[in-house]
A and B are shown apart, each in its own frame.
Chain A
Amino acid sequence: MKCRHSISRLMFAVATVAVMVTVVCTDTRFVGILLVLVLPASMLCTVPPSRWAGSGGQPMLVTLALAASFAIMIFAGLAINLFARFTSGVWAISISVTSLALQAYASSSRGAPSSDPRPPLARPGLLAIAVVSFALLVVTISLAVSVGSARVLARKDSVVSLGVVPAPHGAIIIDVSCLYCTGENVRIIYGTPTGRHVQIAYLRPGSEWARKVSAPRRSSVTATVIDLRTRTVLARAMLRSAGISRSIPSKAEANS
């Protein structure tokens, strides 16, 4: 019996390390979520039940294990902040080390998990399962209704706010945004020929303007968050490289 516990604990430790290595090496989404669940699971399964005695039943153990996992992640986060950046790899190592430490603690303590008369997590009858399933079904349908109507409302707002405006002939491109490039429109920001204002246009894909602005856009895709003045300088360079002759008036020229 004791040997079986040791083997199961060893398998749990090996699985923890395997998941950790997978996260660090491949950075896979679902494996990462599995690792998040490892910490409360290891706290629940490996800490001897004698230490949890009188806590108010198994659901309360789950709740306390969840809260304890959050607390451990917070303390680990403070420690990580001193030595490294927050990355999935650092988190994977942190959670795995904590989980293995808990298992080591469990191995060194008296008592074995399965020797305790603790009931399993849940032992409901078929009726209870049916009732809870039905409740979950109702809740899911309710949320779907709400999500659907919220999307309709959001789309309605978007249509109002994002109308397609043809750019006037001779307008000056100042900036190109690809926020909506994946949709039916390409958005550009342009200045009017008088140089007074900068406005927004939404160009249909394939138009002459869209072709002109898309080439420099691709070449300057590395431009990240930069201040307004730098963007203007970059935009001028983009315009020149695209063969658009007109230059953008400076602020002083615009105000004069």
Chain B
Amino acid sequence: MRHIAPASQAVLLVPVVQALSVGAISCSYYLARGGSNMSAPFYWSGQLALLIPAVYVIARYRASAGTLSVCVLSTGLCSFLVMVAYQPLYLSFADEFQHHQTLQSVLSTGHLFAANTALPVSSVYPGLEVVTSGLAQLGHLPAYVAEMCIAGAAHIATLFLVFGILTSMTSSPRWAAIGSLAYTLNPQYQFIDSYFTYTVFGLLFTFAAVLCLVLALRATGRAALIWAVFSAVFGSACVISHHVSSFFCVAFLALILLTERARGRPGALRLAAVAVIPVAVVLALWTAFVAPSVISYLAPVYQDIEAALLHHRVSALPVPRAIPGLRLPRLRSSPVPTSSPSERYLEYLGTVALVLAYSAALVTWVRPGQRKAGRPPADGAFVLASLVLYVLVAVRVALPDGSELSSRLYAYALLPVSYVLVQGARRAFSSRAPVHAHPRPSFFRPAGASALAVVIWVGVLAAAWPPSYARLPGPPLAAAWERSTSPAVLAASEWAATHLSHHLYFVSDQMTASVFSGLADETAVSAPAAYIFLASTMSPSTVKLLDRYDISLIIVNRIVDQQLPADGKYFVDDPLDGYYASPIPLPDINKFLKWPGGSVIYDNSQVAIVAVAP
């Protein structure tokens, strides 16, 4: 039997502590479902135990590459299990329903590219659904089980690829493991990047392509070419799987080779011809002929960022106004933010700590006078790409929904940022560096690094998904994302999927609409929903709206007359966003049920489906 060094034994405690942290978080979920106030302490202690001891132990003790691999594997697995424990019985996030619809259409028709009523671009990026349908069909697995298996495998493998990239670049598994933990400082890592969405495959293939290109740069001759071919294969798979990831993948691979060319590395152009140009061609062809709709899908996001950052224009918040024919509920005088001030301050504190730590590491790593020959391949590209962190912070501050957008982009930016963090910390720690030239700041020591990680991690958790009102599971809430997916809504959507023809136009509140779009394959019409629901009666103008949008179904979730919207708005296009002071009045909801022009074809006491007479 191989002897395990004492240091390795200490590091092996990391998986145990992380498993116990998953246990604490599961207990918090258990208590929250029962309505206990003790759930929050369990949750926060579990979350802190998930990351901080790992940072301390790995920074403090030396361990073998295999032991560190187990720690990274454990981190990826435990973060995925936190998401599974939140809702282990069914899908709960709106984006997952959109991709579930694509999967169901592949399973039922046996072909790709069928129209998706919930997210049209999902069907033209079918990589995730192809693999999941293969597993579901070969293993006769329920769709949900296959979805969780594939999403979990991709999520864990992604973190492992980060570990591989950083190992290849730093030649130190220990620092690479710390960098992998730094990568998890992404507000959406635990949930959004674990969900069954095309992002998980986009990240997986992007990082696989980057790893192969880094290995190609380290190798020579035929081996370099083989790694470059693998990079092209993974990049092409990325193009078929996710739009934003494919753009990032091509740009980052090109940046790596351009910086290497600038450094005078021989063979960079040959590697570009093998690894980058084929992926760029596939991306251009795919976007032009298969997925042209992605341009119109992403254009509004780009325009918002451009307007906010370059022209300092921010979309004005909607102002409630007296609309003829609408009986408005009680309104507030000014919109109320959905997150609490204390959590916002924690988020700001964490962001400032991250930016300061990154800036210190950047200055330490790129300090003039360091030998450039000692820098690993692709170092320049990683340093340049890491500067995006400043742009993301600007996006967070400048845009009204900057928190969500910036945290989604963190998934890509934190790879180079992690690299700079570990290289800066490593140089500050390095015994070869002259002490008088590079004094070691205290936060680079294990305890200091752990304390810094606590501040950043708490800030990350404050900004993390799900939002604060849905952070813990429990009884259904109105307009609360994961907390709005209830058995009653799922039963109604299953009934509609079985009994109604598909692609019918319908109106409903935002969360119910997302479930029905995904599971029942119906088409949600968002523009008139607020006006139809807020109308006091089914007046001729309201009926005219139904006719104009060819609406066949009105789906009424009675939770909108019982609770205020946790997210500030009931509908996608809600003129009263943030202003609601009381739920929608009950008579406004009952008008559908008593309307002679419609028939209640389904009612489970929580959700009713009203068929509009043709």
Give chain A's interface residues, CB within 8 Å of chain B: 23, 27, 29-30, 32-33, 35-36, 51, 53-57, 59-60, 63-64, 66-68, 70-71, 73-75, 77-78, 81, 84-88, 91-92, 95, 122-128, 131-132, 134-139, 141-143, 145-154, 157-158, 160-163, 175, 177, 179, 189, 196-200, 225-229, 231, 251, 254-255
Contacts and interface: CB of A to CB of B under 8 A. Distances in A.
A54 B88 contact: no
A225 B600 contact: no
A168 to B, nearest CB: 15
A198 B601 CA distance: 6
A9 B473 CA distance: 51
Contacts of A162: 491, 604-605
A228 B15 contact: no
A63 B164 contact: yes
B29 interface: yes
A86 B111 contact: yes
B302 to A, nearest CB: 27
A254 B233 CA distance: 62
Contact of B219 (A54, A66, A152): A54
10 contacts: A51-B226, A60-B163, A85-B111, A126-B1, A128-B4, A135-B16, A135-B18, A150-B87, A227-B500, A228-B601
B240 A251 contact: no
A29 to B, nearest CB: 4
Contacts of B65: 57
Contact of A142 (B34, B85, B110): B85
A50 B602 CA distance: 63
Contact of B81 (A54, A95, A143): A143
Interface of B: 1-4, 9, 12-13, 15-16, 18-20, 22-23, 25-27, 29-30, 33-34, 65-67, 69-70, 73-74, 77-78, 81, 84-89, 106-107, 109-113, 126-127, 130-131, 133-135, 137-141, 153-154, 157, 160-161, 163-164, 167-168, 201, 204-205, 208, 211-212, 215, 218-219, 223, 226, 230, 233-234, 236-237, 240-241, 473-476, 486-488, 491, 494-495, 498-502, 593, 596-597, 599-607, 611, 613-614
Most buried by B among A135, A157, A175: A135
Given A36-B135, A36-B138, A59-B66, 12 more contacts: A23-B138, A67-B204, A78-B240, A86-B130, A86-B134, A127-B9, A139-B19, A157-B476, A163-B605, A227-B501, A228-B501, A255-B613
B26 A142 contact: yes
Which 4 A/B pairs are nearest by Cβ-Cβ distance? A85-B110, A77-B130, A32-B138, A71-B237
A255 B199 CA distance: 49
A43 to B, nearest CB: 11
B173 to A, nearest CB: 8
A158 B487 contact: yes
Contacts of A145: 23, 26-27, 30
Given A33-B139, A56-B164, A161-B487, A139 B601 contact: no
Given A225-B501, A228-B500, A177 B495 contact: yes
B161 to A, nearest CB: 6
Contacts of A199: 600, 603
Nearest to A122: B66
Nearest to A128: B12
Nearest to B594: A197
B201 A179 contact: no
A249 B524 CA distance: 29
A88 B599 CA distance: 42
Contacts of A75: 236-237
A74 B241 contact: yes
A139 B107 contact: no
A156 B358 CA distance: 48
A202 B219 CA distance: 70
A64 B233 CA distance: 12
Nearest to A229: B614
Contacts of A35: 138
Contact of B2 (A86, A123, A148, A177): A123
A147 B212 CA distance: 39
Contacts of B109: 85
Say what secondary structure dominates the interface of chain A: helix
A146 B226 contact: no
Contacts of A127: 4, 9, 12
Contacts of B494: 179
B47 to A, nearest CB: 14
A125 to B, nearest CB: 5
Contacts of B135: 36
A59 B73 contact: yes
Contacts, number: 283
Contact of B605 (A36, A161, A177, A179): A161
Contact of A198 (B215, B501, B599): B599
A128 B70 contact: yes
Nearest to A148: B30
A153 B107 CA distance: 30
Given A57-B69, A228-B500, A189 B602 contact: yes
B505 to A, nearest CB: 13
A225 B223 CA distance: 55
Most buried by A among B33, B164, B599: B599
B495 A179 contact: yes
A254 B154 CA distance: 54
A64 B215 CA distance: 12
B275 to A, nearest CB: 14
A38 to B, nearest CB: 10
B501 A226 contact: yes
Contacts of B208: 64, 67-68
A18 B110 CA distance: 25
B498 A179 contact: yes
A200 B20 CA distance: 47
Contacts of B9: 127
Contacts of A251: 599, 613-614
A36 B34 contact: no
Nearest to A144: B26
A63 B86 CA distance: 26
Most buried by B among A51, A60, A177: A60
A77 B126 CA distance: 9
Contact of B16 (A60, A73, A138): A138
Nearest to B204: A67
Given A78-B240, A153-B33, A161-B487, A54 B215 contact: yes
Given A143-B88, A228-B601, A86 B133 contact: yes
Nearest to B153: A66
Given A29-B139, A138-B16, A150-B89, A200 B110 contact: no
Contact of B596 (A33, A36, A141, A196): A196
A53 B77 CA distance: 27
Contacts of B163: 60
B154 A70 contact: yes
Contacts of B230: 64, 68
B375 to A, nearest CB: 18
B30 to A, nearest CB: 4
Contacts of B237: 70-71, 74-75
A73 to B, nearest CB: 5
A175 B499 contact: yes
Contacts of B139: 29-30, 32-33, 36
